[in-house]
């Protein structure tokens, strides 16, 4: 089966056919770094990291580029407030963002370019656009893109130029009189007092936002790429403008598939810094395991809105807990089964084969425009299946086979099956000694002591569970 991707450009699902066989070139618009990222920003990070992992699982080599926008009005404003330069702000929040990404198991991109390090490329692309007649320089040195000259403008967002024109006329702001047309947008703007700036043929100044991504995508991935992605708020004008810039400059189609995640909402409104209705990733990770947040994000298809609520995160926590408990159970059984080096019976082989059917179900879901909600359902069914087929009589080879199924599928979603363990070696040794003491007490029929040991551990947040295979423990 091939992978089907919903393409915003054509408004339908299409079979994924890469430009270069076996390779995927993808660019994901990254955050503007002036604050800690919120969990809305984390949605595209988790979603497209999962898309990348699935392509890799399918045998593709993925060149994954995601930028940091490190020059912007909001960064400059924050720098002024703190009395430091803009680079201090952006470097600080790039570092924080990377830390959050690592917590959420979002892998490092192949390249994480920063706008301020690509200014030469931007000047070259803008010069080229001027030369080709797609851009012009106003009296104060601002460079504008001549939007109407690009015949396909609006093809991604399915907007009509004349409707846009009337909207813009109503919105026209002062200082924009020097545009030839209200639809034109900025490629380069003159510096203002106290702002960071770079030399250019037009004026000392800085780039507009859209030109960044056209240039960085060209630099690291080439003129035509397979996938360009980001949140749905980027369709217009950001991605529409990127297409206009890149295609006018390079003369070839920019991206073949345009993927956009829907919003993470709160009370049915988009979570955003400017609206103030946000939780940072840091806030949430103080209360929940990062894996639970990841599971929550993947519990609905990426093109469906996701409303943040603690109940839903807790439901994701319970669901994720089932996966972890199943994996722990397998590990526990395996510890005791290690010596039983039995060959698999026909019946046991059939169990492994049946377990493989959940993988097929998982792949079918992911092939269908990365339907992680259905892929997670396949994993939960696999968990139920494992729970009813793995026990203390299972041979190691069967348990290993089941473990491999579970770990590979969860791994594609970037979920790890080990509970975050902050227990020190000393603490573990202490708990295990107590469990042994309790076992001895029970054997000697000293049930009062056995109960006292259980209560003592519970007081310390350690829960004991007696099973047929022995006593297990976990944190409350």
In the window 227-246, what residues touch ligand AMP (CB under 6 A)?
230-231, 233-234
| Distance (Å, whole) CA 88 – CA 33 | 11
Contact partners, residue 16, CB within 8 Å, separation at least 6: 2, 3, 4, 5, 226, 257
In the window 261-290, what residues touch ligand AMP (CB under 6 A)?
261, 263-264, 270-272
213 contact choice in Zn ion, ligand AMP, none (CB below 5 to 8 Å, kind-dependent)? Zn ion
Cβ pair 72, 32 in contact under 8 A: yes
Binding footprint of ligand AMP, residue count (CB under 6 A): 17
Which phi and psi (to 5°) does residue 464 adopt?
-100, 145
β-strands 205-207, 185-190 pairing: antiparallel
| Distance (Å, whole) CA 217 – CA 213 | 6
Give the one residue of 71, 115, 164, 213 binding Zn ion; rule: CB under 5 A.
213
Q: Does 26 bind Zn ion (CB under 5 A)?
A: no
By beta-carbon proximity to ligand AMP, the closer residue of 234 and 412 is: 234
Rounded to a whole number of angstroms, the minimum distance from the CB of residue 126 to Zn ion is 16
231 contact choice in Zn ion, ligand AMP, none (CB below 5 to 8 Å, kind-dependent)? ligand AMP
Give the one residue of 31, 121, 182, 414 binding ligand AMP; rule: CB under 6 A.
31
277 contact choice in ligand AMP, Zn ion, none (CB below 5 to 8 Å, kind-dependent)? none
| Distance (Å, whole) CA 358 – CA 378 | 6
| Distance (Å, whole) CA 188 – CA 143 | 5
Cβ pair 254, 225 in contact under 8 A: yes
| Distance (Å, whole) CA 452 – CA 317 | 31
Closest C-alpha among 66, 114, 449, 42 to residue 271: 42
113 contact choice in ligand AMP, Zn ion, none (CB below 5 to 8 Å, kind-dependent)? none
Q: Which residue has the tokens 């529409």?
A: 240
Helix (H, G, I), strand (E, B) or coil at 257: strand
Q: Candidates 28-36, 86-94, 282-290, 351-359: pick the segment binding ligand AMP (CB under 6 A).
A: 28-36
| Distance (Å, whole) CA 212 – CA 379 | 40
Cβ pair 225, 217 in contact under 8 A: yes
Q: Does 43 bind ligand AMP (CB under 6 A)?
A: yes
Binding footprint of Zn ion, residue count (CB under 5 A): 2
Q: Which residue has the tokens 């009395």?
A: 83
Q: Candidates 27-35, 100-108, 156-164, 379-387: pick the segment binding Zn ion (CB under 5 A).
A: 27-35
Give the one residue of 9, 29, 330, 398 binding ligand AMP; rule: CB under 6 A.
29
Give the one residue of 8, 32, 200, 417 binding ligand AMP; rule: CB under 6 A.
32
Give the one residue of 9, 16, 44, 405 binding ligand AMP; rule: CB under 6 A.
44
By beta-carbon proximity to ligand AMP, the closer residue of 58 and 303 is: 303
Give the one residue of 24, 29, 109, 435 binding Zn ion; rule: CB under 5 A.
29
Q: Which residues bind ligand AMP (CB under 6 A)?
A: 29, 31-32, 40-41, 43-44, 230-231, 233-234, 261, 263-264, 270-272
Q: Which residues bind Zn ion (CB under 5 A)?
A: 29, 213
């Amino acid at each position: 089966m091939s992978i089907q991707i919903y393409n915003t450009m054509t408004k339908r699902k299409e079979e994924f056919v890469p430009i270069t066989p076996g390779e995927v070139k993808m660019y994901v618009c990254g955050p503007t770094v002036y604050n800690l990222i919120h969990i809305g920003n984390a949605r595209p990070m988790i979603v497209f990291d999962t898309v990348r992992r699935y392509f890799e699982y399918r045998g593709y080599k993925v060149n994954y580029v995601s930028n940091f926008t490190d020059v912007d009005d909001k960064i400059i404003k924050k720098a002024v407030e703190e009395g430091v330069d803009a680079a201090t702000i952006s470097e600080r929040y790039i570092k924080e963002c990377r830390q959050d990404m690592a917590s959420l198991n979002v892998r490092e991109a192949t390249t994480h370019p920063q706008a301020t390090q690509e200014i030469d490329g931007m000047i070259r692309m803008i010069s080229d656009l001027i030369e080709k007649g797609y851009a012009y320089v106003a009296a104060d040195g601002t460079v504008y893109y001549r939007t109407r000259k690009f015949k396909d403008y609006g093809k991604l967002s399915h907007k009509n130029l004349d409707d846009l024109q009337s909207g813009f006329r109503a919105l026209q702001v002062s200082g924009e009189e020097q545009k030839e047309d209200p639809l034109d947008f900025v490629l380069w703007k003159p510096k203002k007092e106290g702002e960071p700036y770079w030399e250019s043929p037009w004026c000392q100044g800085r780039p507009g936002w859209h030109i960044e991504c056209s240039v960085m995508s060209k630099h690291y991935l080439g003129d035509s790429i397979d996938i360009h992605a980001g949140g749905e708020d980027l369709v217009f004008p950001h991605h529409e403008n990127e297409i206009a810039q890149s295609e006018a400059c390079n003369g070839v189609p920019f991206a073949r598939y345009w993927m956009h995640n829907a919003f993470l909402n709160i009370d049915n409104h988009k979570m955003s810094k400017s609206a103030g209705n946000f939780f940072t990733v840091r806030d949430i990770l103080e209360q929940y395991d990062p894996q639970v947040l990841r599971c929550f994000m993947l519990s609905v298809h990426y093109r469906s809105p996701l409303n943040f609520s603690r109940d839903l995160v807790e439901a994701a926590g319970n669901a994720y807990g089932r996966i972890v408990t199943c994996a722990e159970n397998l590990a526990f059984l395996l510890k005791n089964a290690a010596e039983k080096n039995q060959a698999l019976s026909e019946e046991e082989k059939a169990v492994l084969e049946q377990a493989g059917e959940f993988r097929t179900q998982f792949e079918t879901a992911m092939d269908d425009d990365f339907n992680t909600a259905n892929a997670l359902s396949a994993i939960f069914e696999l968990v139920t299946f494992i729970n009813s087929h793995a026990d203390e009589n299972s041979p190691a080879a069967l348990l290993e086979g089941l473990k491999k199924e579970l770990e590979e599928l969860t791994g594609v979603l970037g979920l790890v099956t080990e509970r975050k363990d902050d227990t020190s070696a000393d603490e573990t040794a202490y708990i295990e000694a107590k469990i042994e003491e309790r076992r001895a007490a029970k054997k000697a029929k000293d049930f009062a002591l056995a109960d006292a040991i259980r209560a003592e551990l519970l007081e310390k947040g350690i829960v004991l569970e007696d099973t047929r295979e022995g006593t297990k423990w976990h944190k409350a």
